[in-house]
Structure 1
Amino acid sequence: MTAATAPAGAAVVDFHGHLAVPEADALVAGTDGFARELTAEQRSHSAESLVLNRHQLASRARQLTDVRRRMADLDAMGVDVQVVGPMPMHHYWAGPALAAELAETVNAAVAAHCAQAPERLRGLGTVPLQHVDLAVRTLHRALSVHGLDGVSVSTTVEGRELADPVHDPFWAAAQEAGTLVFLHPWGCSLGERLATRYLGNTVGQPVETTVALSHLIFTGVLDRFPGLRLVVAHGGGYLPTYLGRSDHAWQHRPDARGCAEPPSAYLERLWFDALVYTPTALRQLVAAVGPDRLVLGTDYPFDMGVDDPVQRLDAAGFAPGIRAAIAGGTALRLLQQKGHRP
């Protein structure tokens, strides 16, 4: 019996690993769109942070590309199975031809990487959400041709919210396919306000996730597509443990009532990774979303991730059943219930 097919609770699953794809980087190098993307990213980081970011990418290049190094690190962390997705590198500014080539390059690379250790690695791809019809076709190809388990998306698409109705065909296709969608922020829209002491990441990333989720909930996207299998990085940002304010607005402000139920009701339709760092925060997240809605996440191999996910889970002191569900049982069920392949 392999880890990927073991009974729920028998394996430790990290739902949040990353892969770099140099071939995709080469496709965007020197383009005006990539230059604009870098400029936007730089606005929310200090010069010191930008230097450290470049050093981190260079120093962890092998971890981001080499399967043998990944396997050694997973062994050291006590992780049996890792879900691997793009760094991410969505490049939502790209026109249709480049976007199609980028997505195919990334998705093929993720599939090839995971194929080198199929019993331990599962893959998430990317889709060009800026071209929704192409995104739907790319999703189908990612599942049926490349054998991926789902796709990763960022929190905004070239200034559009994920909840913008223009994206509804993608959500409909993801729901019909029963595929996993991993919501992971990339960049921060708050710009210069957070360009000090790495606030663009430490504060900006959770804010981006909180805003994106709030849009998906308050505007009724999760009502229209109740079967979406959406997994959210970084514990869902600030939303799950401060959702009382959202419920209060829904109850007392008619202009806030764009969803059928109180916002807190939608937590049971989502899944969240457990990357919230402390035992107290993890217990609060479980209290907010329920023990069957959490999966482990390491953010491998970045420095805002953790290399001791099991120890951190154990430090929270959960009962054995809850601990087993978070450690791997819930993730394995998500990976095994793929729905149909289009």
Structure 2
Amino acid sequence: MIVDLHAHALDEQFIHDLSKTSVAGLRAERGEDGYWVIRRQGDDRKSSIDPNLHDLPKRLESLRRRDVELQLFAPPPFMLAWPGGASSVELVRALNEASHRVSQQSGGRMEMLAVLALDEPDMAAQELQRTVDEHGVRGVMMPSSAGGKPLDGLEFAPLFSLIEKLGLVVFMHPASAVTSERFGMYGVHVLVGWPFETTLAVTRMIFEGLFERHPQLKLVLAHGGGNLVFLRGRLDSAYRATGWEADPYFRKNISCPPSEYLDRLYYDTCALSEDSNRFVIQTMRAERVVFGSDYPFDIGDPEGRCTVPVVDALPEAQRELIYNGNALRLLERAGR
């Protein structure tokens, strides 16, 4: 049995509604190929919608075929944050209601992750509490920044306090805070920029003391944690430096080396190569790794080809932790 903590979905009716009436400046229209695209008011760029995002029967067949008992999902990241902007209360409420409909229609196989109104931090906690009260959500998907604004700022403190109090699982997924033009062609902002976004966000959170202030935060990182697992020794070297490069900032807000905070986090298996998954599991231990497919995206692991061979080769106890045990433990008391 598998619990998949990293997937994306959209309600088909929500897309049709967006084609008639815009929400927070977002509108859906048919592209030249007949597929849906999302446009944002005042922005010439468009985001194509993979039809598998809203094909519920096909997804449910995929879940049965791959022995996925439960899949947690959220809208695709381009709906939530973009260079210079993040989701408003209006957009978040519409997306959360749409995700709730998908959950209801899935026969218990899919569970929504609430999204957050990071563009209005003073209202974000209130909107999240409403969503928890009305829909019983047990987790949230948090972009790596609020359209480029770091999440370790004090304006987001009430939101993190509420998340910690409710015991919600926080799944951090990168979003393009840096314009794609900065990276050039070939979608490099997704291939390279997104792991960098996660790495930057969590590194700032560590050195700003966010995990000191919120020690019970249950944070799961997409894509095997970006570059963080590889860089843990480099972060520690800054904390321990005593010579020319010693900087008080690296110790100002924290009481232990950065790697000890990384050891408290969780990492999904969507690292996109068997070797990378082995490295994450070996370094962070099976107790800190959860299954994540990034369904339905091709630059993901929707069929588990990079994950299943690695996990199946582990001892049974470790295998069970990654496939379902860690996720179920994280979700057990969430939202109460």
TM-score, L = length of structure 2: 0.85
Identify which of 197, 201, 211 aligns with 2:200: 211
Structure 1 match to 2:268: 273
2:284 maps to amino acid: V
Structure 2 match to 1:45: none
Q: Which structure shows the bigger proportion of residues in helix conformation?
A: 1
Q: What displacement does 1:190 show?
A: 6.0
Structure 2 match to 1:19: 9
Q: Deviations over 1:231-271 (max 9, x none)?
A: 11111100112210000001112232232210100123211
Identify which of 278, 282, 286 aligns with 1:287: 282
Q: What displacement does 1:24 show?
A: 5.8
SS of the equivalent of 1:128 reads coil
Q: Deviations over 1:113-139 (max 9, x none)?
A: 111224311110111122223110111
Query: Is 1:256 matched with 2:253?
Result: no
2:278 maps to amino acid: R
Question: How many angstroms apart in 1 are the aligned matches of 2:115 and 2:234?
Answer: 33
Structure 2 match to 1:147: 136
Kept after mapping to 1: 8 A contact 2:195/2:227: yes
SS of the equivalent of 1:161 reads coil
Question: How many angstroms apart in 1 are the aligned matches of 2:74 and 2:158?
Answer: 22
Question: How many angstroms apart in 1 are the aligned matches of 2:129 and 2:272?
Answer: 35
Q: What displacement does 1:313 show?
A: 2.9
Kept after mapping to 2: 8 A contact 1:190/1:204: no
After superposition, residues 230-249 of structure 1 pair within 5 angstroms as: 230-249=219-238
- 1:201/1:146 CA distance change after superposition, 3 Å: same
- 1:176/1:113 CA distance change after superposition, 3 Å: same
Q: Deviations over 1:34-67 (max 9, x none)?
A: 345x56xx6xxxxxxx8xx63xx2xx32x21232
Query: Is 1:29 matched with 2:18?
Result: no
Kept after mapping to 2: 8 A contact 1:16/1:299: yes
Question: How many angstroms apart in 2 are the aligned matches of 1:271 and 1:183?
Answer: 10
1:338 maps to amino acid: A
SS of the equivalent of 1:169 reads helix
Q: What displacement does 1:91 show?
A: 4.8
Question: How many angstroms apart in 1 are the aligned matches of 2:75 and 2:128?
Answer: 14
Percent sequence identity over matched residues?
A: 30
- RCO comparison, higher one (Cα < 8 Å, 6+): 1
Query: Is 1:306 matched with 2:301?
Result: yes
Q: What displacement does 1:197 show?
A: 2.4
Structure 1 gaps of 5+ residues are 1-10, 43-49
SS of the equivalent of 2:296 reads coil
Kept after mapping to 1: 8 A contact 2:119/2:146: yes
Question: How many angstroms apart in 2 are the aligned matches of 1:311 and 1:283?
Answer: 10
- 1:251/1:123 CA distance change after superposition, 3 Å: same
- 1:280/1:94 CA distance change after superposition, 3 Å: closer
Kept after mapping to 2: 8 A contact 1:14/1:82: yes
SS of the equivalent of 1:297 reads coil
After superposition, residues 1-342 of structure 1 pair within 5 angstroms as: 11-20=1-10, 21-22=14-15, 23=17, 26-27=22-23, 28-29=25-26, 34-35=40-41, 38=43, 54=48, 57=49, 60-61=50-51, 63-88=52-77, 89-91=79-81, 99-189=88-178, 191-252=180-241, 253=246, 254-257=248-251, 258-309=253-304, 312-315=307-310, 317-340=313-336
Structure 2 gaps of 5+ residues are 29-38
Kept after mapping to 1: 8 A contact 2:89/2:123: yes
Structure 1 match to 2:32: none
Q: Deviations over 1:170-198 (max 9, x none)?
A: 10110011111111011141643421222
Kept after mapping to 1: 8 A contact 2:278/2:310: no
Question: How many angstroms apart in 2 are the aligned matches of 1:105 and 1:30?
Answer: 13
* Superposed CA RMSD: 2.4
SS of the equivalent of 1:69 reads helix
Question: How many angstroms apart in 1 are the aligned matches of 2:88 and 2:273?
Answer: 39
Kept after mapping to 1: 8 A contact 2:194/2:226: yes
Question: How many angstroms apart in 2 are the aligned matches of 1:24 and 1:232?
Answer: 30
Q: Deviations over 1:190-209 (max 9, x none)?
A: 64342122211110110001
Question: How many angstroms apart in 2 are the aligned matches of 1:280 and 1:167?
Answer: 36
Question: How many angstroms apart in 2 are the aligned matches of 1:12 and 1:200?
Answer: 30
- 1:16/1:30 CA distance change after superposition, 3 Å: closer
